[in-house]
């Protein structure tokens, strides 16, 4: 029993490290192998060249045969957190959403086929696969399953093909069977031991997806109501209008270990905004930080910055929020800040992508959230 609990906790911390670590860094290069895209893309004069350059970088430089690399620089793939050319269902879902929203049927089919073959387990989508070791981690991250489910619903609508919608329904029902108990969503389900953790991370509460599920899957309405309450209840207050990190069901308390992680709060604000539940104070505070170019990676409970880390992903998510709440000043300023991390040197392996050419790094989360930000801003 002790081993099981330690294993579950350790792997959960690895998931958190992936989300927070990837979002809190910039980007970079490498001469690793590339993957040829199998789907034909249809470009036209209205396509943004920057978006097309990034799309090319992600699909041909930052990707291999198992999917989008966590980082362009390879590692031994044996760390607690994903690294190097390990692949994440997080990345698969982000790419699927981008292809569906962009109307790229062939590219979406390729992305979904690959995601299913690499990550689909009996009870959930594994959060991580290590090609070097052949290890498929036997637990999921709820937010990643929900993102894939949302992409399937969006593809069904975009391409007018009901099979995608039916698949989304089936995976949603599976999700409720394993990541939900008594109307409460839990971060992880460990397929090996059949267990969940005891809390939910607020940025895992994908309200738009739960809304899609609500009318289609038994138990969906109760889940949506429950998680909407948990998400809105994590508001820290108008003086510092971000959100707590997690809610512990057993203790009935909110907490934010290590401070308020900005990427987590922004994802929560984006989810609430898409559900029409954003706090005006959150948008004003975010806009102030973006305009001043002082949107940093972590704050304390008083709203004081705990580091000076800025990243592609932070500004990409801020741009998506600006688009959703129809604030063009916030959207455009965030996109401009995001562009400052783009590699424009045509001689660099990272050209067109977001990264750090000196350090030689480019992270999947940075580049894929930037792709989505372009679509949201259309």
Q: How far apart are CA 176 and CA 183, in angstroms?
A: 9
- 343: tokens are 């590699």
CB contact at 8 A, 4 and 12:
no
| pLDDT tens-digit series, residues 290-303 | 999 999 999 999 99
| pLDDT tens-digit series, residues 176-206 | 999 999 999 999 999 999 999 999 999 999 9
Indicate the pTM of the whole model.
0.90
Parts of the chain with a pLDDT under 70: 1-46
| pLDDT tens-digit series, residues 97-110 | 999 999 999 999 99
Q: Please compute, for residue 183, the number of CA atoms within 13 A of its CA located in the half-sphere on the CB side.
A: 11
Domains of the chain: 2-28+47-376 (1.50.10.10)
pLDDT score at 36:
32
Q: How far apart are CA 56 and CA 62, in angstroms?
A: 9
pLDDT score at 143:
98
User: What is the share, in percent, of the chain residues with pLDDT greater than 70?
Assistant: 88
């Amino acid at each position: 029993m002790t081993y099981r609990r330690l294993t579950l906790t350790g792997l959960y911390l690895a998931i958190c490290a992936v989300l927070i670590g990837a979002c809190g860094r910039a980007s970079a290069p490498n001469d690793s192998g590339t993957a040829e895209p199998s789907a034909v893309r249809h470009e036209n004069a209205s396509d943004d060249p920057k978006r097309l350059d990034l799309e090319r970088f992600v699909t041909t430089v930052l990707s291999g045969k198992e999917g989008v690399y966590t980082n362009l620089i390879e590692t031994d793939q044996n760390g607690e957190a994903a690294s190097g050319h390990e692949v994440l269902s997080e990345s698969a879902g982000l790419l699927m959403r981008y292809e569906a929203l962009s109307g790229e049927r062939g590219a979406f089919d390729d992305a979904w086929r690959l995601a299913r073959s690499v990550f689909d387990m009996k009870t959930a989508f594994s959060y991580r696969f290590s090609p070097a070791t052949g290890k498929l981690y036997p637990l999921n991250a709820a937010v990643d399953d929900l993102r894939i489910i949302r992409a399937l619903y969006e593809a069904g609508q975009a391409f007018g093909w009901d099979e995608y919608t039916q698949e989304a329904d089936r995976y949603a029902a599976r999700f409720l069977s394993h990541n939900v108990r008594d109307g409460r969503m839990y971060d992880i389900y460990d397929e090996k031991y059949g267990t969940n953790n005891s809390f939910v991370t607020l940025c895992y509460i994908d309200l738009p997806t739960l809304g899609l599920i609500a009318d289609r899957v038994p138990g969906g309405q109760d889940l949506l109501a429950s998680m909407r309450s948990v998400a809105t209840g994590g508001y820290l207050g108008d003086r510092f209008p971000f959100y707590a990190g997690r809610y512990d069901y057993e203790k009935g308390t909110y907490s934010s270990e290590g401070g308020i992680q900005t990427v987590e709060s922004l994802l929560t604000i984006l989810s609430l905004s898409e559900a029409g539940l954003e706090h005006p104070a959150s948008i004003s505070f975010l806009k102030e930080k973006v305009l001043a170019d002082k949107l940093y990676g972590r704050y304390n409970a008083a709203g004081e910055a705990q580091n000076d880390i800025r990243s592609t992903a932070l500004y990409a998510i801020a741009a998506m929020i600006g688009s959703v709440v129809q604030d063009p000043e916030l959207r455009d300023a965030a996109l401009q800040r995001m562009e400052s991390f783009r590699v424009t040197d045509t001689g660099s392996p990272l050209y067109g992508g977001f990264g750090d050419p000196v350090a030689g790094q480019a992270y999947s989360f940075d580049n894929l959230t930037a792709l989505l930000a372009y679509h949201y801003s259309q």
